[in-house]
Amino acid sequence: MIVALSAAALLMATGVFVFSRSIFAGYGCTEEIEELLPALESLSVLDAHPDSAEEEGGRRSGCESDDEYVYVRKSYRSPLPPASLTQFYEQAAVADGWTRCSPYLKGVFLFEKPLQKTLMNLSVAFPKNAPKGNEGEYEIEVRVSNENYGKC
What's this model's pTM, rounded to 2 decimal places? Answer: 0.73
Q: How far apart are CA 72 and CA 60, in angstroms?
A: 6
Residue 15: inside a domain, yes or no? no
- Residue 44 placed within a domain: yes
Question: In which domain, by residue range, is 132 found?
Answer: 27-145
What's the total number of domains in the chain? Answer: 1
Is residue 5 one of the residues assigned to a domain?
no
Taking residue 61's Cβ as centre, other Cβ atoms within 10 Å add up to 18
CA distances from 125 to 100, 104, 134 (A): 14, 10, 14
Backbone angles phi, psi at 19, to 5 degrees: -60, -45
Q: One digit per residue, pLDDT tens: the chain, 152 residues?
A: 554 444 444 434 444 333 332 334 456 788 888 888 899 999 999 999 999 999 998 899 998 877 788 899 999 999 998 888 888 999 999 999 999 876 655 556 688 898 888 888 898 888 776 555 556 889 999 988 866 554 55
Question: Residue 139 domain-assigned?
Answer: yes
